[in-house]
Amino acid sequence: MHVTNQMGLSQFLLLGLSEDPKVQSILFVLFLSMYLVTVLGNLLIIMATTCGSHLHTPMYFFLCHLSFVDIAFISTSVPMMLVNILAQVKDISYTECLTQVYFFIIFARMNNFLLTLMAYDHFVAICHPLKYTLIMNPQFCGLLVLISWLIILCASLTHILLMMQLNFSTSTEIPHFFCELAQVLKVANSETLINNIFLYVTLVLMVVFPVCGILFSYFEIVSSLMRMSSTANSYKAFSTCLSHLCVVSLFYGTGFGVYFSSEVTHSSQGKLVASVMYTVVTPVLNPFIYCLRNKDVMGALERLLGRTACCLSWTPDFRTKRLLQPLRQML
Protein backbone atom coordinates (compact mmCIF):
# COMPACT_ATOMS: atom_id res chain seq x y z
CA MET A 1 0.00 0.00 0.00
CA HIS A 2 1.46 3.30 -1.08
CA VAL A 3 2.09 5.81 1.70
CA THR A 4 2.07 9.51 1.08
CA ASN A 5 2.44 12.61 3.19
CA GLN A 6 -0.34 15.07 3.83
CA MET A 7 0.53 17.21 0.79
CA GLY A 8 0.16 14.25 -1.58
CA LEU A 9 -3.04 12.91 -0.08
CA SER A 10 -6.17 13.76 -2.05
CA GLN A 11 -8.98 12.35 0.04
CA PHE A 12 -10.30 10.13 2.82
CA LEU A 13 -13.20 7.72 2.46
CA LEU A 14 -15.97 7.98 5.07
CA LEU A 15 -17.68 4.59 5.34
CA GLY A 16 -20.79 6.12 6.93
CA LEU A 17 -23.56 4.40 8.89
CA SER A 18 -24.81 2.00 6.22
CA GLU A 19 -24.29 1.04 2.58
CA ASP A 20 -27.87 -0.16 2.08
CA PRO A 21 -29.73 2.38 -0.16
CA LYS A 22 -33.02 1.82 1.68
CA VAL A 23 -31.39 2.40 5.06
CA GLN A 24 -29.62 5.46 3.68
CA SER A 25 -32.96 6.96 2.61
CA ILE A 26 -34.35 6.47 6.11
CA LEU A 27 -31.19 7.93 7.65
CA PHE A 28 -31.38 10.96 5.35
CA VAL A 29 -34.95 11.81 6.40
CA LEU A 30 -34.21 11.12 10.07
CA PHE A 31 -31.02 13.15 10.26
CA LEU A 32 -32.43 16.02 8.18
CA SER A 33 -35.44 16.23 10.52
CA MET A 34 -33.24 16.21 13.63
CA TYR A 35 -30.94 18.82 12.14
CA LEU A 36 -33.81 21.18 11.29
CA VAL A 37 -35.37 20.73 14.74
CA THR A 38 -32.02 21.48 16.38
CA VAL A 39 -31.42 24.62 14.37
CA LEU A 40 -34.99 25.92 14.78
CA GLY A 41 -35.19 25.15 18.50
CA ASN A 42 -31.87 26.76 19.34
CA LEU A 43 -32.54 29.77 17.11
CA LEU A 44 -35.80 30.36 18.98
CA ILE A 45 -33.89 30.25 22.26
CA ILE A 46 -31.31 32.73 20.97
CA MET A 47 -34.03 35.08 19.71
CA ALA A 48 -36.04 34.82 22.94
CA THR A 49 -33.06 35.47 25.23
CA THR A 50 -31.80 38.30 23.03
CA CYS A 51 -35.11 40.11 22.62
CA GLY A 52 -36.43 39.54 26.15
CA SER A 53 -34.93 42.24 28.36
CA HIS A 54 -35.90 40.32 31.52
CA LEU A 55 -33.77 37.40 30.28
CA HIS A 56 -30.57 39.46 30.18
CA THR A 57 -29.10 37.55 33.13
CA PRO A 58 -25.93 35.42 33.45
CA MET A 59 -27.87 32.15 33.20
CA TYR A 60 -29.53 33.10 29.91
CA PHE A 61 -26.33 34.72 28.65
CA PHE A 62 -24.57 31.34 28.96
CA LEU A 63 -27.64 29.57 27.60
CA CYS A 64 -27.64 31.77 24.49
CA HIS A 65 -24.00 30.83 23.84
CA LEU A 66 -24.82 27.16 24.46
CA SER A 67 -27.60 27.29 21.85
CA PHE A 68 -25.22 28.81 19.30
CA VAL A 69 -22.61 26.15 20.07
CA ASP A 70 -25.20 23.37 19.70
CA ILE A 71 -26.13 24.63 16.24
CA ALA A 72 -22.47 24.82 15.22
CA PHE A 73 -21.70 21.45 16.85
CA ILE A 74 -24.28 19.50 14.86
CA SER A 75 -23.47 21.51 11.70
CA THR A 76 -19.89 20.20 11.65
CA SER A 77 -21.00 16.67 10.81
CA VAL A 78 -24.64 16.28 9.72
CA PRO A 79 -24.86 18.57 6.61
CA MET A 80 -21.87 16.90 4.94
CA MET A 81 -23.27 13.46 5.73
CA LEU A 82 -26.60 14.45 4.15
CA VAL A 83 -24.82 15.72 1.04
CA ASN A 84 -22.82 12.48 0.78
CA ILE A 85 -25.99 10.39 1.03
CA LEU A 86 -27.70 12.44 -1.68
CA ALA A 87 -24.70 12.38 -3.99
CA GLN A 88 -23.88 8.74 -3.17
CA VAL A 89 -20.25 9.60 -2.47
CA LYS A 90 -17.97 8.78 0.44
CA ASP A 91 -14.88 10.81 -0.24
CA ILE A 92 -13.80 13.88 1.69
CA SER A 93 -10.70 15.90 0.86
CA TYR A 94 -7.76 16.10 3.24
CA THR A 95 -8.38 19.81 3.86
CA GLU A 96 -12.10 19.28 4.47
CA CYS A 97 -11.38 16.46 6.90
CA LEU A 98 -8.94 18.54 8.96
CA THR A 99 -11.36 21.46 8.93
CA GLN A 100 -14.12 19.19 10.22
CA VAL A 101 -11.86 17.85 12.97
CA TYR A 102 -10.87 21.40 13.96
CA PHE A 103 -14.40 22.75 14.33
CA PHE A 104 -15.73 19.57 15.93
CA ILE A 105 -13.09 19.83 18.68
CA ILE A 106 -13.84 23.53 19.19
CA PHE A 107 -17.59 23.16 19.67
CA ALA A 108 -17.42 19.91 21.65
CA ARG A 109 -14.94 21.43 24.11
CA MET A 110 -16.87 24.71 24.28
CA ASN A 111 -19.90 22.71 25.33
CA ASN A 112 -17.87 21.42 28.28
CA PHE A 113 -16.82 24.91 29.31
CA LEU A 114 -20.29 26.43 29.00
CA LEU A 115 -21.92 23.68 31.06
CA THR A 116 -19.27 24.27 33.73
CA LEU A 117 -19.89 28.04 33.70
CA MET A 118 -23.62 27.42 34.05
CA ALA A 119 -22.99 25.13 37.03
CA TYR A 120 -20.85 27.87 38.58
CA ASP A 121 -23.68 30.35 38.00
CA HIS A 122 -26.09 28.07 39.90
CA PHE A 123 -23.50 27.66 42.66
CA VAL A 124 -23.12 31.41 43.17
CA ALA A 125 -26.89 32.02 42.96
CA ILE A 126 -27.73 29.42 45.62
CA CYS A 127 -24.68 29.45 47.90
CA HIS A 128 -23.86 33.18 47.73
CA PRO A 129 -27.15 34.92 46.81
CA LEU A 130 -26.23 38.26 48.40
CA LYS A 131 -23.04 38.48 46.33
CA TYR A 132 -24.55 37.12 43.12
CA THR A 133 -24.95 40.41 41.22
CA LEU A 134 -21.51 41.53 42.37
CA ILE A 135 -19.75 38.32 41.28
CA MET A 136 -21.71 37.45 38.13
CA ASN A 137 -21.61 40.88 36.53
CA PRO A 138 -21.80 41.17 32.72
CA GLN A 139 -18.11 42.01 32.33
CA PHE A 140 -17.01 38.96 34.31
CA CYS A 141 -19.38 36.65 32.43
CA GLY A 142 -18.15 37.97 29.09
CA LEU A 143 -14.54 37.52 30.20
CA LEU A 144 -15.16 33.89 31.21
CA VAL A 145 -16.66 33.08 27.80
CA LEU A 146 -13.87 34.92 25.95
CA ILE A 147 -11.13 33.08 27.86
CA SER A 148 -12.87 29.78 27.16
CA TRP A 149 -12.94 30.49 23.41
CA LEU A 150 -9.26 31.50 23.35
CA ILE A 151 -8.12 28.38 25.22
CA ILE A 152 -10.14 26.06 23.00
CA LEU A 153 -9.09 27.74 19.74
CA CYS A 154 -5.41 27.41 20.66
CA ALA A 155 -5.73 23.78 21.75
CA SER A 156 -7.70 22.83 18.61
CA LEU A 157 -5.17 24.53 16.35
CA THR A 158 -2.38 22.58 18.05
CA HIS A 159 -4.24 19.33 17.32
CA ILE A 160 -4.43 20.24 13.64
CA LEU A 161 -0.77 21.26 13.40
CA LEU A 162 0.25 17.93 14.91
CA MET A 163 -2.04 16.05 12.51
CA MET A 164 -0.45 17.79 9.55
CA GLN A 165 2.82 16.00 10.38
CA LEU A 166 1.25 12.54 9.94
CA ASN A 167 1.33 10.29 6.89
CA PHE A 168 -1.64 8.39 5.50
CA SER A 169 -2.12 5.79 2.80
CA THR A 170 -3.59 6.85 -0.52
CA SER A 171 -6.75 4.80 0.12
CA THR A 172 -7.46 5.74 3.70
CA GLU A 173 -10.87 4.57 4.96
CA ILE A 174 -12.42 6.03 8.11
CA PRO A 175 -15.12 3.82 9.72
CA HIS A 176 -17.29 6.76 10.67
CA PHE A 177 -19.80 9.23 9.20
CA PHE A 178 -17.52 12.23 9.82
CA CYS A 179 -13.85 12.97 10.51
CA GLU A 180 -13.38 12.50 14.24
CA LEU A 181 -9.93 13.07 15.76
CA ALA A 182 -9.46 9.67 17.41
CA GLN A 183 -10.64 7.82 14.28
CA VAL A 184 -8.31 9.79 12.00
CA LEU A 185 -5.34 9.12 14.30
CA LYS A 186 -6.09 5.38 14.20
CA VAL A 187 -5.75 5.20 10.39
CA ALA A 188 -2.47 7.16 10.25
CA ASN A 189 0.58 5.27 8.99
CA SER A 190 3.11 7.25 11.01
CA GLU A 191 3.82 7.46 14.74
CA THR A 192 1.01 9.15 16.65
CA LEU A 193 2.52 9.07 20.14
CA ILE A 194 2.80 12.86 20.45
CA ASN A 195 -0.73 13.30 19.07
CA ASN A 196 -2.16 10.83 21.56
CA ILE A 197 -0.27 12.37 24.48
CA PHE A 198 -1.57 15.83 23.61
CA LEU A 199 -5.07 14.38 23.11
CA TYR A 200 -5.12 12.85 26.59
CA VAL A 201 -3.64 15.98 28.17
CA THR A 202 -6.36 18.15 26.60
CA LEU A 203 -9.02 15.62 27.64
CA VAL A 204 -7.89 15.96 31.24
CA LEU A 205 -7.72 19.76 31.10
CA MET A 206 -10.88 20.37 29.05
CA VAL A 207 -13.12 17.47 30.07
CA VAL A 208 -12.06 16.02 33.43
CA PHE A 209 -11.44 19.41 35.08
CA PRO A 210 -14.80 20.85 33.92
CA VAL A 211 -16.57 17.70 35.16
CA CYS A 212 -14.84 18.09 38.53
CA GLY A 213 -15.95 21.74 38.57
CA ILE A 214 -19.56 20.73 37.92
CA LEU A 215 -19.45 18.02 40.62
CA PHE A 216 -17.92 20.44 43.12
CA SER A 217 -20.56 23.08 42.34
CA TYR A 218 -23.42 20.66 42.90
CA PHE A 219 -21.82 19.22 46.03
CA GLU A 220 -21.75 22.73 47.47
CA ILE A 221 -25.30 23.40 46.24
CA VAL A 222 -26.67 20.24 47.89
CA SER A 223 -24.78 21.01 51.09
CA SER A 224 -26.21 24.53 51.13
CA LEU A 225 -29.77 23.30 50.47
CA MET A 226 -29.55 20.73 53.27
CA ARG A 227 -28.77 23.53 55.70
CA MET A 228 -31.97 25.40 54.75
CA SER A 229 -34.74 25.21 57.32
CA SER A 230 -37.55 25.34 54.76
CA THR A 231 -38.05 22.23 52.63
CA ALA A 232 -40.18 24.18 50.17
CA ASN A 233 -37.43 26.76 49.61
CA SER A 234 -34.85 24.01 49.20
CA TYR A 235 -36.96 22.26 46.57
CA LYS A 236 -37.67 25.52 44.74
CA ALA A 237 -33.96 26.39 44.65
CA PHE A 238 -32.94 22.92 43.48
CA SER A 239 -35.65 22.85 40.80
CA THR A 240 -33.82 25.68 39.02
CA CYS A 241 -30.90 23.25 38.53
CA LEU A 242 -32.87 20.27 37.19
CA SER A 243 -32.76 21.27 33.52
CA HIS A 244 -29.02 21.88 33.70
CA LEU A 245 -28.50 18.52 35.42
CA CYS A 246 -30.44 16.76 32.65
CA VAL A 247 -28.36 18.43 29.94
CA VAL A 248 -25.11 17.65 31.77
CA SER A 249 -26.12 14.00 32.25
CA LEU A 250 -27.09 13.64 28.61
CA PHE A 251 -23.97 15.34 27.24
CA TYR A 252 -21.41 13.59 29.43
CA GLY A 253 -23.28 10.29 29.46
CA THR A 254 -23.20 10.04 25.68
CA GLY A 255 -19.66 11.47 25.58
CA PHE A 256 -18.33 8.82 27.94
CA GLY A 257 -20.33 6.27 25.96
CA VAL A 258 -18.38 7.23 22.84
CA TYR A 259 -15.08 6.97 24.72
CA PHE A 260 -15.75 3.57 26.30
CA SER A 261 -17.26 2.14 23.11
CA SER A 262 -14.04 2.99 21.25
CA GLU A 263 -11.66 1.91 24.00
CA VAL A 264 -13.39 -1.16 25.43
CA THR A 265 -15.56 -2.67 22.71
CA HIS A 266 -14.56 -3.66 19.19
CA SER A 267 -18.01 -3.30 17.63
CA SER A 268 -17.95 -0.60 14.97
CA GLN A 269 -21.76 -0.44 15.00
CA GLY A 270 -21.78 0.24 18.74
CA LYS A 271 -19.25 3.04 18.30
CA LEU A 272 -21.36 4.64 15.56
CA VAL A 273 -24.55 4.49 17.65
CA ALA A 274 -22.76 6.12 20.59
CA SER A 275 -21.36 8.82 18.28
CA VAL A 276 -24.82 9.55 16.85
CA MET A 277 -26.19 9.96 20.38
CA TYR A 278 -23.36 12.35 21.24
CA THR A 279 -23.21 14.46 18.09
CA VAL A 280 -26.84 14.52 16.95
CA VAL A 281 -29.35 13.45 19.60
CA THR A 282 -27.91 15.60 22.40
CA PRO A 283 -28.18 18.94 20.50
CA VAL A 284 -31.72 17.98 19.43
CA LEU A 285 -32.91 17.38 22.98
CA ASN A 286 -31.18 20.32 24.65
CA PRO A 287 -33.76 22.99 23.66
CA PHE A 288 -36.63 20.79 24.87
CA ILE A 289 -34.90 19.91 28.14
CA TYR A 290 -33.52 23.30 28.99
CA CYS A 291 -35.90 25.92 27.71
CA LEU A 292 -39.21 24.92 26.25
CA ARG A 293 -40.56 24.06 29.70
CA ASN A 294 -39.21 27.33 31.08
CA LYS A 295 -42.02 29.82 31.68
CA ASP A 296 -39.72 32.83 31.20
CA VAL A 297 -38.54 31.59 27.80
CA MET A 298 -42.06 30.59 26.71
CA GLY A 299 -43.32 34.02 27.72
CA ALA A 300 -40.52 35.68 25.77
CA LEU A 301 -41.39 33.57 22.72
CA GLU A 302 -45.05 34.55 22.97
CA ARG A 303 -44.15 38.24 23.09
CA LEU A 304 -41.69 37.79 20.20
CA LEU A 305 -44.29 36.04 18.05
CA GLY A 306 -46.85 38.63 19.10
CA ARG A 307 -44.66 41.49 17.89
CA THR A 308 -44.02 39.59 14.65
CA ALA A 309 -47.73 39.06 14.14
CA CYS A 310 -48.39 42.72 14.88
CA CYS A 311 -45.86 43.78 12.25
CA LEU A 312 -47.65 41.53 9.74
CA SER A 313 -51.02 43.08 10.66
CA TRP A 314 -52.36 39.90 12.29
CA THR A 315 -54.21 39.65 15.57
CA PRO A 316 -51.26 39.16 17.96
CA ASP A 317 -52.84 37.27 20.86
CA PHE A 318 -54.83 34.90 18.66
CA ARG A 319 -51.99 34.14 16.29
CA THR A 320 -49.49 33.70 19.08
CA LYS A 321 -51.66 31.18 20.90
CA ARG A 322 -52.31 29.28 17.68
CA LEU A 323 -48.58 29.07 16.91
CA LEU A 324 -47.58 27.95 20.41
CA GLN A 325 -50.48 25.56 21.04
CA PRO A 326 -48.94 22.54 19.18
CA LEU A 327 -45.67 23.13 21.01
CA ARG A 328 -47.39 23.17 24.41
CA GLN A 329 -49.31 19.98 23.55
CA MET A 330 -46.10 18.26 22.49
CA LEU A 331 -44.42 19.20 25.78
Q: For residue 119, what pLDDT is reported?
A: 94
- Residue 227 sits in a domain of what CATH number? 1.20.1070.10
Q: For residue 326, what pLDDT is reported?
A: 54
Angle of helix 242-263 relative to helix 282-290, nearest 10 degrees, comes to 170
Instruction: Report whether 268 contacts 276 (CB < 8 A).
Output: no
CA distance 57 to 47: 15
Q: How many CA atoms lie within 13 A of 44 on its CB side?
A: 22
Note the pTM of the prediction, 2 decimals. Answer: 0.85
Q: For residue 331, what pLDDT is reported?
A: 46
Q: For residue 177, what pLDDT is reported?
A: 85
Q: Is residue 317 part of a domain?
A: no
Q: What is the extent of the structural domain holding 151?
A: 12-298
Q: Is residue 308 part of a domain?
A: no
Q: How many domains does the chain have?
A: 1
Q: Is residue 314 part of a domain?
A: no
CA distance 11 to 91: 6
The per-residue pLDDT for range 206-255, each reduced to its tens digit, is: 989 999 999 999 999 989 888 877 777 777 777 778 888 888 988 888 87
Q: For residue 241, what pLDDT is reported?
A: 84
Q: For residue 238, what pLDDT is reported?
A: 79
Q: Is residue 229 part of a domain?
A: yes
Instruction: Report whether 174 contacts 14 (CB < 8 A).
Output: yes
Sign, CA torsion 59/61/62/67: positive
Q: Is residue 279 part of a domain?
A: yes
Q: Work out whether strand 168-169 and strand 91-93 pair parallel, antiparallel, or are unpaired.
A: unpaired
Q: Is residue 128 part of a domain?
A: yes
Q: Is residue 77 part of a domain?
A: yes
Q: Is residue 331 part of a domain?
A: no
Which residue stretches of the chain have pLDDT < 50?
Answer: 7, 314-316, 330-331
CA distance 62 to 98: 28
The per-residue pLDDT for range 62-80, each reduced to its tens digit, is: 999 999 999 999 999 999 9
